[in-house]
Amino acid sequence: MALKKFKPTTSSQRFKLVSALDDITATSPEKSLLQPRKSSGGRNNTGKMTIRSIGGGHKQKYRIIDFKRDKEDIPATVKTIEYDPNRTARIALLYYADGEKRYIVAPNGLKVGQEVIAGKGAQPEIGNALYLSEIPFGTVIHNIELRPGQGAKMARSAGSSAQLMSRDGKFAVIKLPSGETRMILQSCKATIGMVSNTEHNLEVSGKAGRSRWLGRRPRTRAVVMNPVDHPMGGGEGRASGGHPRSRKGLPAKGYKTRYPKKASNKYIIERRKK
């Protein structure tokens, strides 16, 4: 995985830094694992705009990803590593021994032709999905379930990973990418390794047009609005005083929005680092 720099033939090319896509082995996706993906443009079911700065963008189809890894004890061969427009990570197409095809989020270091497997007794090797009760301490993991059989919910984006620290009773103690340490049932699954496309956070679009391709419209800063439009609007000249807050007046920059009596608080051993 490498980043591609461009000759500054135009002003937008000068700072452009994007993925070289040298880890991609196929240009067209598996048709049986595609489904339509409609763009909402930030509108709800009545046509009212509920989210600003969304609209346009290139037409995309959704790739059906296997986050459950419930096809146990059947080996699968990695056929291709592909680009997915719906996520920051790469995806891998698996051909199972019984003929079924499935996509998974590709871990870093997964190669075409490699064999992966899920279930009890599987070796803790890159791409294999195991129960937390069977993973060795200190192992780097991703695609972690929160509830048994629910499917992966945590550590799914490019370059992210968690670490299995210890076990306590029926729980495993996991250190998450945010720095939070929490308990998860040992009967939940996780995949070995770190998520692919680790240099995604270093990419630079180079121009506003690339944001439009991704479906992002221009965003108006709050401080340039009028008082009627935003709590941070108004003032003489370029005055932008006051405390940072959302359009509805909810403070930002450090204000805690988590419900203090949330049921899952008892599973969190240490909160994320600020």
For residue 97, the enclosing domain spans: 3-201
Average pLDDT, the chain: 95
CA-closest candidate to residue 129, choices 75, 86, 183: 75
How does residue 201 score in pLDDT terms, banded at 50, 70 and 90? Answer: very high
pLDDT for res 1: 65
The answer on 67 and 160 residing in a single domain is yes
Q: Judge if 153 and 242 occupy the same domain.
A: no
Q: Is 61 in the same domain as 188?
A: yes
pLDDT at 274 over 80: no
DSSP output for 34-67: EEE----TTB-TTS-B-SSSB------EEE-B--
Give residue-wise pLDDT tens across range 87-119. Answer: 999 999 999 999 999 999 999 999 999 999 999
pLDDT at 121 over 80: yes
**Residue 274 located in a structural domain:** no
Q: Which helix (H) or strand (E) holds 105?
A: strand 101-105
Q: Which pLDDT does position 265 carry in this prediction?
A: 95
pLDDT at 242: 84
Task: Give, in order, the Cα–Cα distances in Å from 84 to each of 54, 100, 142, 244.
Answer: 20, 20, 18, 35
Flag whether 139 is in a domain: yes
- Given this model, what pLDDT does residue 89 score? 97
Say yes or no: 131 and 248 in one domain.
Answer: no
Cβ count within 10 A of residue 53:
12
Mean pLDDT over residues 113-128, rounded? 96
Residues 170 and 103 in one domain: yes
The answer on 135 and 229 residing in a single domain is no
Give the residue-averaged pLDDT of 228-244: 87
Residue 193: alpha-carbon gap to chain centroid = 15
Query: Do both 166 and 256 map to the same domain?
Result: no
Is 210 contained in some domain? no
Is residue 127 very low, low, confident or very high in pLDDT (cuts 50, 70, 90)?
A: very high
As a whole number of angstroms, the distance between CA 223 and CA 18 comes to: 31
Query: CA angle, corner 75, sides to 151 and 188, nearest 5?
Result: 25
**53 found inside a domain:** yes
- Residue 26 forms part of a structural domain: yes
Q: Is residue 218 part of a domain?
A: no
Same domain, 114 and 152: yes
* CATH number for 162: 2.40.50.140
Q: Report the number of distinct structural domains present in the chain.
A: 2
Question: Can you tell me whether residue 270 is helix, strand or coil?
Answer: strand
Q: What confidence tens digit (pLDDT) does each residue in 23-46 have?
A: 999 999 999 999 999 999 999 999
Residue 236 in domain: yes
Q: State pLDDT tens for residues 160-198.
A: 999 999 999 999 999 999 999 999 999 999 999 999 999
pLDDT digits (tens, 9 = 90+) for 250-273: 999 989 888 999 999 999 999 987
